[in-house]
Amino acid sequence: MARDEPVMCLKVNLPDVSWSNQAKTLILALNKGCHFCNESAPFYKRLVESVQNKNVKLIAVFLFNIEESRTHLKEFGITGIDIKQSPLSALRVSGTPTLILTNEKGEITDYACPYGLLQHLCSELSANRKKMPDRSEQVV
């Protein structure tokens, strides 16, 4: 069975998100029980730090409640990130971690799956470039 992946140009369905306040929004689809998510926590911490004072909003989406999610991230030293509770299907994602980049309309412009370009995406965002990673560079 094929893995569900975000669909480019479709709008993300997350309630109470004001997309137009930022040029870009980076959504981190995470799961507390996912060892890849937990092992990637240092990367997420650097990501949060690298986009501070940039026009990029960060949102972590978890399956479980917001306070439990906030506590989980705080255990890894990750703070100052908006947290939403939502099924992964709302993002058209079937696995974690997955990062989704949207424009000011909430439309998906790029994404990276666990086997993808997480480091490259972080570099691109911190450099505040418009070009996104080339999918041909993905490592499977």
Range of the domain at 41: 21-127
Q: How far apart are CA 37 and CA 30, in angstroms?
A: 6
Half-sphere exposure of 45 (CA within 13 A, CB side): 12
Q: How confident is the model at residue 137 (pLDDT cuts 50, 70, 90)?
A: very low
What is the tally of structural domains in the chain?
Answer: 1
At 2-40, the pLDDT tens digits run: 455 667 778 888 888 888 888 899 999 999 988 889 989
CATH of the domain at 46: 3.40.30.10
The mean predicted confidence, pLDDT, of the chain is 80
pLDDT at position 112, please? 81
Instruction: Give domain status of residue 36, yes or no.
Output: yes
**What is the helix (H) or strand (E) element at residue 36, kind and residue range?**
helix 35-39
At 57-70, the pLDDT tens digits run: 999 999 889 999 99
